[in-house]
Each structure stands twice: as C-alpha cells, then as structure tokens.
Amino acid sequence: MPQRKQILLNAFNMNCVGHINHGLWAHPRDRSSDYHTLSYWTDLAKLLEKGLFDGLFLADIVGVYDTWQGNVDLTLRESIQLPVNDPLMLVSAMAAVTSHLGFGLTANLSYELPYLLARRFSTLDHLTEGRVGWNIVTGYLESAARAMGRPAQVAHDRRYDQADEYLQVLYKLWEHSWEDDAVLADRAGRRYADPAKVHPIDHRGEFYQVQGYHLSEPSPQRTPVLFQAGSSARGLRFAGQHAECVFISGQTRPATAEQVGKVRAAAQAAGRTPEAIKVFMGISVVVAGSEAEARDKHGEYLRYASPEAGVAHYSASTGIDLARYGLDEPIRDEQTNAIESARQALTNGQWTVRRLLDQTALGGRYPALVGSAVQVADGLQAWVEETGIDGFNLARTVTPESYADFIEHVVPELQNRGLFKTEYAQGSLRHKLFGAGPRLPAGHVGRYGE
C-alpha cells in the first residue's frame, strides 16, 4: 500500500491583536492583546513545537486599512491588524525555546533595501540554525505608499518587475558573495576568512544599483525558504520562478484545485518540476471532544466575532470601499492597485455585502471546519486529496486555545491515519519541507543564476 501524503502545517499568526478572524480579541479566554510580550510568543512557539507544527507563519502589513468608509475608525475599534509590530524581532526569542519549529516571516520588499534585508535574514538563519523562511510581498496599500513618502502605490505588475530584480540582488548576496569554504576560522594562522573566496557583487539594474560584499558569512540555508502568495497572472509567473511555498486562499474545492494547477503549471513553465512548490491553504478550525461540544464552542465564538470587521479587512484587500454598497447591491469592479486576484473574485457579479457578512460570520473569510477530531481530520484530508494542496496555514480564532485544541484533538487523529508526522526530521526548514538538504535545489534560478 503506497504511503499517504503527509500534511504540512503552519500556524498562521501576526504580531498584532486582530489578524484574520476579527472580533475574537474580546473573548474572555483570548490572549491576543498580550501580543507585545515575549512570553506570549515563546509560550506559543513551545506549544506549536509540542504539536509538531512545521512552522509559524507570521503575516505583516506596512500601512493601515483605511478603505472602509475612508477612515481607520473601525480598524482601530476592532484592532484590524492595527496596532501591528515587526514580526522579525520575535524570532530570536522563539528560536531560543525551540529546536525544530520553522518561522515564515513577511517582509515588504517595496520599502526595504535589499542589501540590509539580506543581512537581516542571514542573521536570523544563523541564530535559528536554518529555520527561517521569507514571505515575499510587494505591498498593496495606498496608505503604506503615502506613509513612505510616495504619491501613490506602484502599479500591480510593475511591483512584480521590481520584485524580480530585488531577488536577483539577494541571490547574488546570499549565494555568490561568499564561497562555501571562505570561512577558515584558523586561529593559529590568524585567518578568519580567505579574501580570495569572498567577492563583491556589482548589480546595475533598472531599480537597484548595488556594489559590495554581503555582510554575513554563509548561513545554514544561505537563502531562506521562499514563500509567496500572489494569485494573479503576474504573481503566478513570479511564483513559478522564485517561490518554494505558495499560500493560497481557498473558498471551494474545485476553485482551489484549479489554483493549485496554475501554481504547478507556473513552476513547470519556469523550467522546474510541478512539485517544486509546496501549496498551503488558509483554514480555520473549531474542534472539541465531540461534535456537539465543537458546535457549542463555535456558537460561543460567533457571539464575539465581528463580520463587519471581516468585510472591512476584505475591503482593504480589494481597494474597494464596500461601505458604499447596500446590503444586496451587486459589487461592481473598480480599477485599484490592491490585490488583483481578490478584486477580481469579488467583482464577478455574484457578491453582495450581505453575502460577504454571511461568509465572515467568524470574523474572516477562510473556510472553517467545525466538529470532532474525526470530522475535522476528514475535512482536512478531503481538501488535500481533492485539491492537491500540500498543507494548511491554520488561522487562530481564540488564542492560544484554538492551537491547543487542534494539537490535543486533531493531530493524534491525523497521525493515526498516517497523514501527519510523529516526530520531526533533523535539519533545516528547507530540508524538513523537501528532504533534499538546506540549500536551494539545483534548477532554482537563485542557486545558479546570476
């Protein structure tokens, strides 16, 4: 009997109060308002490693959600990803209390110089002994552009043109500036590094002019595991060339299967194998010892959730002020520079604000599985088998309760089915995900490209 495909699992979180399922910060058992304390994150990291999670995926935004009603009033009242702190600064503390948990970290390349970002990720890759990934984003908020002194957000496809060149610079720094045996650490000979094996890069492009040596010696992975979440045609082309893991927002299984097919095809079009990219889908889970208990818990959560905040969040994602629409008025297409795939999905003639409010009953738009351990495992297994995804980004509801419940109930059930690991593999995050060592694989543009 062939071995079953094991499910990959990230906890999906953000260095803020309200992340995906909005309003639940008000639940009496929720601890998300402690997000600015180290113990909140170190306790979470230890819990996730106990549950054998592959990683903690930390989202981030630069800017604020001010599309809904043209202001941040609801954003501030419900803490819709505001306030939000830097995700990268959390990693050292969490790495110190774990040995295997990976960290997928969002950083916006539109407002970060590649030379400094390269050092920041190399530093974290050293300190975690190779457990770091980068979620590559280009940003989509007009509020971010204004805050950074720009008159407007750069056009959608143009942002990806810049991102392609940004990655070229980073590959040169991470992969080519220091040779593998450049570091000697020879005390007797008083030679820490061999000057003949450390090289400056000289990048002269349209967006970036970079001359200099990478400031960090080679880290375990050199290049962090590369995550990306673009679903537009241009985003998929970028993913096909660069991404190792792609995060999608599935709504129905047929649509998700179609999107997975597009990701695989993009990898193949870039000269890679279709399986070179692991695909993760966002999902929410409410689980308990029995279906009745889970339904009761779900009902309790619904009393605290804010569907309006969920729609306001989506409003910012599309760049369309949905507060201007009547409950049953079809949402029209508008040209924006926000998330193109989100805008197109919203303006296909089938959506109204009322339907969105129904979908965001739990405060967010991700599919929700509610039930016993067996029922949730059935649901997760069906998503994997019917769509071809490789795993899930598990969004929090009440935190840390939702992760603790999943670890107590669902993880053992998945393990009993042979669908989830019973122990961690050794090695870097990349090796744990792909089983082929810590470095970018042969055939990836970053490994051998110039």
Residue 220 and residue 438 in contact, taking contact as beta carbons nearer than 8 Å: yes
pLDDT value of position 400: 98
pLDDT value of position 124: 98
Q: Which residues contact 338 (CB under 8 A, 6 or more apart)?
A: 140, 141, 316, 317, 318, 319, 320
In a domain, residue 440? The reply is no
Domain that holds residue 139: 8-181+192-434
Q: Which residue reads 């009496």 in tokens? A: 28
CATH of the domain at 253: 3.20.20.30
In a domain, residue 443? The reply is no
pLDDT digits (tens, 9 = 90+) for 97-120: 999 999 999 999 999 999 999 999
Q: Shortest CA distance to 16 belongs to which of 83, 112, 66?
A: 83
* Model confidence at 252: pLDDT above 80: yes
Q: Shortest CA distance to 346 belongs to which of 375, 318, 305, 323?
A: 318
In a domain, residue 448? The reply is no
Q: How far apart are the first and last CA of the chain?
A: 44
In a domain, residue 100? The reply is yes
In a domain, residue 144? The reply is yes
Long-range contacts of 416-419, Cβ-Cβ distance < 8 Å, separation of 24 or more: 417/4, 417/377, 417/381, 418/3, 418/4, 418/6, 419/4, 419/5, 419/6, 419/7, 419/377, 419/380, 419/381, 419/384
pLDDT value of position 449: 47
Residue 413 and residue 29 in contact, taking contact as beta carbons nearer than 8 Å: no
**Separation between Cα atoms, residue 347 and residue 445, nearest integer Å:** 36
pLDDT value of position 3: 66
* Model confidence at 1: pLDDT above 60: no
Residue 320 and residue 431 in contact, taking contact as beta carbons nearer than 8 Å: no
* Model confidence at 72: pLDDT above 50: yes
* Model confidence at 189: pLDDT above 50: yes
In a domain, residue 446? The reply is no
pLDDT digits (tens, 9 = 90+) for 319-340: 999 999 999 998 988 888 777 7
* Model confidence at 396: pLDDT above 70: yes
* Model confidence at 376: pLDDT above 70: yes
Q: What is the mean pLDDT of residues 236-248?
A: 97
Q: Are strands 201-204 and 55-59 parallel, antiparallel or unpaired?
A: unpaired
pLDDT digits (tens, 9 = 90+) for 153-173: 899 899 999 999 999 999 999
Q: What is the mean pLDDT of residues 387-394?
A: 98
Integer Rg of the chain from CA: 22
In a domain, residue 187? The reply is no
The number of domains in the chain is: 1
pLDDT value of position 349: 74
In a domain, residue 318? The reply is yes
Q: How far is CA 62 from CA 303, 359, 423, in A?
A: 30, 26, 37
